[in-house]
Amino acid sequence: MSDPVSTETRGAVAVIIVDSPPVNALGHAVRSGIAGALSELNDNGTVKAVVIRGGGRCFSGGADIREFGQPPKDPMLRDVCALIEDFPKPVIAALHGTAFGGGLEVPLSCHYRVADRSARLALPEVKLGIVPGSGGTQRLPRIIGARRALDVILSGDPHGAAEARELGILDHLVEGDLTAGAIAFAETLLAEAAPLKKVRDLPVTDAAPEVFEAARKIWDRRSRGLLAPNACIDCVEIAATEDFDTGMAREREIFVACRDSDQSKAQRHLFFAEREAAKVKDVPREIEKRAVNAAAVVGCGTMGGGIAMCFAGAGIPVTVLETTQDALGAGMAKIEKNYAASVAKGRLAQSDMEARLDLISGTIDYADLGPADIVIEAVFEDMDLKRTVFGELDRVMKPGAILATNTSTLDVDAIADATSRPGDVIGTHFFSPANVMKLMENVRGRASAPDVIATVMALGKRIGKIPVLVGNCDGFVGNRMYHRYTRQAYFLLEEGALPGQVDKVFTDFGFAMGPLAVGDLAGLDVSYRIRQRQKRDLAEGERWPLIADRVCEAGRHGQKTRAGWYKYEDGSRKPIADPEVERIIAETSAELGFERRGISDQEIHERCFYALINEGAKILDEGMAQRAGDIDTIWTNGYGFPVARGGPMFHADHVGPAHVHERLSHWADVASPALEPAPLLEKLAREGGKFGDL
């Protein structure tokens, strides 16, 4: 195996090349290699400057994930960064591709930084529940000022080369060959006898106290109890108020405290779970995927329009079908309005809006969809309607086109049976608003072809989604689980709880909204229609949530009627407790024969959250999800499960499957037989296993 770090000398400039595929992770061998190369070059009298660059497709993706949780090995990355900064000759970082996390902290310790146009820079540690731990919070503010550094560190998002140059992170953009450009830059520095720019010696600008006060105010609202954002703010403030060595010591202390927290463990779990979710166990990675150069969407309502925007955002031309010219015009106007709102908020350039609108065309003729490589049906959630649409698509779409349904609960196989090519049919469940929400729950039908599955999973990433493959059952994974815990919430209302108490248990746990407030937002008539379909398959003796039907049948459909589980004032989305709902609840309890009783918050928590976990166990046992992490990815990205808890199955492992089993057994005996523990949960409890080990 070749050394991951090599050195080439070109005149007076040496080039240190990190070549450790696939992402030049900064593992022990790479760190030792850089330190060793610097030691040799320090003693080389002919070398007057050093360039550090990555081999292959990027500079560095950051830390080596194989070292997560392992005892640290010297030299630590912070030590390597100190060696670079203290090197007596100019050191220039030459960046291309990704320079993330530690892969950016190394360049920040260099005296100068150059990049080609492909470079993308980020400090994404906040998304893992930690702070940058090798000087990122101390050096970046010294380079670009505290305010800008906070924006970069707290977002965790990548910045392109041009933007990084504008921010001041980069000193120069290289056109053409990166190595040649970096060497030329180094030779210019030598010719001009340019000083060594030690970042540690620079002052932190734009660091008034109100900068940090404003950041805390914003992130206290955005982060909903996450530790890492405020820890990052603390670190940058320390950089502004303490000397460099003190700041580095405090950064390390804060990093370790964050790293060892339950929150960071949960967020790191989700980081890896999202990447695993993209892998399909029985579809080879090398399978040839179908080309997707043009798309079509049936329906230009809220969902269809949002899906069209996803394609346009990825540069894929898309044709949208509606039944009438008026409906099409209204849908296209809504798309333009959404783009205009993004422009007004500074999230999208006017030129980008115009370019995306140019990629979206409309029609009322199915024949115009024929040339598309994939068509996504996004019509009303009605089986007969969807089968009619797929019959038309079967008639007009070219051979090899992928026929996808955006159904959220319906049988994908029954929809595929309306065509002569079920192998080309798959579910693509987007979440509303589709142009914003990241999750894409892809549903494999009985006949879905492997290359169709692979193509749609890859397409999900291409259009900026987090794709997860699930099996075909009622509600798939996300909604099937959602219906289980909302049903328990309804039962608790019938037995003695009130909406505000139930929802508060959820918000106290970390959700932005409780299930009843969510129902009002989505529309209670939507869930009502789904329940009426599900009611046809109700097992004999199975309890039905009558209270949910009674509220909807009273004309209370949620925020759109200004009355649902709560009432709403005109122009406001703030839920207000409504005595009328309490009256309906009390009457329904009496109708069902319940003597209302006091319900504790603990009972609400256990019956709702453990019902969620229990259904997840059934889903895993049935093979409807490939792995527990897939369920966690779905729930944190599509249903608002707090990332600090890691998802329902991770949370189950945290509290212990045996505890969940014991509490479900208790509630199944005294309150709700539907909470009888799943066989897989019983097995894990008996054997001391965890969902994460499956």
Among 8, 40, 67, 105, which one carries the catalytic annotation?
105
* Active site annotation includes 125: yes
- The Cα 556–Cα 370 span in angstroms is 42
Q: What is the largest CA-CA distance in the chain?
A: 93
Among 8, 67, 125, 286, which one carries the catalytic annotation?
125
- Residue whose C-alpha is closest to residue 518's, from 499, 497, 533: 499
H helices present in 278-324, as ranges: 302-313
* Cβ pair 144, 124 in contact under 8 A: no
Buried b vs exposed e over 55-88: b needs ≥16 C-beta within 10 Å?
A: eeebbbbbbbeeeeeeeeeebebbebbbbbbebe
- The Cα 191–Cα 185 span in angstroms is 10
How distant, in Å, are the alpha carbons of 13, 52, 60, 114, 342 from that of 49? 5, 10, 21, 14, 45
Rounding to the nearest 10 degrees, give the CA dihedral for residues 313, 319, 320, 325: 130
Please enumerate in sequence order all residues whose Cβ is within 8 A of that of 20, keeping only pairs 6 or more positions apart, or say none: 4, 5, 27, 29, 30, 55
- The Cα 14–Cα 90 span in angstroms is 11
* Active site annotation includes 105: yes
Buried b vs exposed e over 619-632: b needs ≥16 C-beta within 10 Å?
A: bbeeebbbbbbbbb
For strands 91-95 and 98-100, give the pairing: unpaired
The single residue listed with the structure tokens 């990675």 is 285
Run of H or E residues at 14: strand 13-18
What's the residue count for the chain?
694
- Residue whose C-alpha is closest to residue 94's, from 10, 187, 12, 17: 17
Which amino acid would we find at residue 176? G
* Cβ pair 408, 380 in contact under 8 A: no
- Residue whose C-alpha is closest to residue 310's, from 210, 196, 496, 439: 439
**DSSP letter string over 423-465?**
GGEEEEEE-SSTTT--EEEEE--TT--HHHHHHHHHHHHHTT-
- The Cα 580–Cα 585 span in angstroms is 9
For strands 5-10 and 91-95, give the pairing: unpaired
List residues bridging with 159 in a β-sheet: 121
Q: Exposure of 302 by Cβ count < 10 A (0-12 exposed, 13-18 middle, 19+ buried)? A: middle
Run of H or E residues at 92: strand 91-95
Buried b vs exposed e over 340-349: b needs ≥16 C-beta within 10 Å?
A: eebeeeeebe
- The Cα 391–Cα 381 span in angstroms is 16
Rounding to the nearest 10 degrees, give the CA dihedral for residues 516, 428, 377, 436: 60
The catalytic residue positions are: 105, 125
